[in-house]
Amino acid sequence: MDLTGKRAVVLGGTSGIGLATVQKLLAAGVEVTAGGRSERNIARAAEAAPGATFRAIDVLDRDALEALFSDCASFDVLVNAATGGDRAVGPFLSMDPEGFQGSFRKLWGYVNSVRFGAHHMSETGSIVLVSGSPARKCQPGMSSISSVGNAVEGFVRAIAPELAPRRINVVSPGIIDTPMFPVQGDDRSKFLDQATANNLIKRAGTADEVADAVMFLLGNEFVTGTTVDVDGGALLP
């Protein structure tokens, strides 16, 4: 699909992978509307991606999503990189069940965006969601994140036949150096180095590298219902 002149909606598009995707879409000649929950992030993103339209949106607010999609109709591209909120980590048997359940806000946000967005897309539209490498290689303490990632990937495989000829795919990042990790300075470098020490590529990925995979899936018209890994070889032994 030639993206030039297409219209896109990017949720979670005000920081990290989402913002990098917004920037690449703009460079490809796409008209972009991006949304996020944080007014502070929206202001920063507007400076980093001039030319995009930014709106405050919560992916769990179905009425607000419906209004956004209606305003942007008809659009050709939908990317959802929103986390949905905080994610629970730690030993499963001592984890607060509410925290585990709350991690699934990411899935509900994705379900909402596809359910209400697809009706406003062109018949040749393309959707990309984001899971994560713990979906298929879970370290101790990551059970909720792994479970959500599995659900996202299963959701995409399940609905791809129903959405056709529209396409839907998943990008699965490994450890990526984004604002999701709040630690700064030497502690941040040490954390990322330790987290990727057993990878074949021994460094954290960048938001741009993940956004490149998003762009591939958006443009390749022979790919649907699949997951592309961008994880530095984290899934391998």
pTM, rounded to two decimals: 0.94
* In-domain check, residue 141: yes
Quick one: residue 85, left, alpha or beta (phi over 0 = left, psi -120 to 50 = alpha)? left
Mean of pLDDT values over 92-99:
94
As a whole number, the mean pLDDT across the chain is 95
Question: Which pLDDT tens digit goes with each residue over 2-34?
Answer: 999 999 999 999 999 999 999 999 999 999 999
Mean of pLDDT values over 87-98:
93
* In-domain check, residue 234: no
Contacts for 190 with CB less than 8 Å, ≥ 6 apart: none
Which domain covers residue 99, as residue numbers? 7-229
* In-domain check, residue 163: yes
Instruction: Decide if pLDDT at 207 tops 90.
Output: yes
Amino acid letter for position 1: M
Domain count, the chain: 1
pLDDT at 84: 85
Task: Calculate ∠ Cα 121-210-141, nearest 5°.
Answer: 105
Whole-number percent of the chain with pLDDT over 70: 99
More confident residue, 182 or 6: 6
Find, among 227, 175, 212, the residue nearest to 21 by Cα: 212
Report which DSSP code applies to 221.
T
E strand residue ranges, the chain: 7-11, 31-36, 53-56, 75-80, 121-130, 167-173, 176-177, 205-206, 227-230
Please, which pLDDT band fits residue 182 given cuts at 50, 70 and 90?
A: low
Question: Which pLDDT tens digit goes with each residue over 116-154?
Answer: 999 999 999 999 999 999 999 999 999 999 999 999 999
Q: Three-state DSSP class for 171? A: strand
What CATH number is given to the structural domain containing 69?
3.40.50.720
* In-domain check, residue 171: yes
* In-domain check, residue 2: no
Instruction: Decide if pLDDT at 181 tops 80.
Output: no
* In-domain check, residue 48: yes
* In-domain check, residue 237: no
* In-domain check, residue 36: yes
Mean of pLDDT values over 165-170:
98
pLDDT at 180: 73
Instruction: Decide if pLDDT at 196 tops 80.
Output: yes
Please, which pLDDT band fits residue 237 given cuts at 50, 70 and 90?
A: confident
